Amino acid sequence: MGEWSPEVLEVLEASGWTAGRRVDTAGWRSTFEAVGIVMHDAAETFLQEFGGLTVPFRGPGINRAREPFALDPEPAAGEDDRFSEWSEVLGRRLFPLGELDHGRFFLGIDEDSEICLVETWVATFGPMPHALAHLILGVMPRRVDDEHM
């Protein structure tokens, strides 16, 4: 993916990522397709490389605290309504990616590889590869739901 800083690469590698990593996404695809959320190409590409990783680090960040996050869509399996509804409101197809801060927030990715925080509100970390760097380095996501209300 990457034009990442050495710090971002170090965190990813410490979390189990290696260049060229590929994981099977079929299980996640079938879990969510069963409830009507279709895995688009951007979600598949991201999850093949980063799915299953947990970034456990916390501490001060650039303009928000760094919080641990897990790139495993499974915990969002009961939250399909939230993803479907926000996809409709925003006009984007959000596919679950995982959770931030031990399930306090969910993460999703749209068809343009933009990573969003999904709660009762939505904010964007921006497009890949910057989004992953923003998550790792503690950059505040920008609210997008109020632009659409």
**What is the tens place of the pLDDT at every residue in 82-136?**
999 999 999 999 999 999 999 999 999 999 999 999 999 999 999 999 999 999 9
Sign of the alpha-carbon dihedral angle for 138, 8, 19, 56: negative
> pLDDT of 6-36, one tens digit each?
999 999 999 999 999 999 999 999 999 999 9
CA distances from 148 to 20, 22, 45, 80 (A): 37, 35, 27, 20
What are the tokens at 56? 């456990």
- Tell me the pTM: 0.94
Tell me what pLDDT residue 58 has: 92
